[in-house]
Amino acid sequence: PDTLDPALLRPGRLDRKVEFGLPDLESRTQIFKIHTRTVNCERDIRFEILARLCPNST
């Protein structure tokens, strides 16, 4: 797992450490849709296929 720099974890730096799991298929699909809204690309892109191709991506 990724870790934060120990300097950030010293008292007074960060109040909380919040961990999130990897996004599921539907979440990855939505992430692709959000990030390509302002990009010139084909209209018939199947975002679900893209999301299936990157199962461990965030």
Taking only the tens of pLDDT, the chain with its 58 residues reads 567 788 888 888 888 878 889 999 999 999 999 999 999 989 899 999 999 999 988 7
pTM for this structure? 0.69
Q: How many CA atoms lie within 13 A of 31 on its CB side?
A: 15
Domain ranges of the chain: 21-57
The amino acid occupying position 20 is F
For residues 8 and 35, give the distance between their C-alpha atoms in angstroms, rounded to a whole number.
29
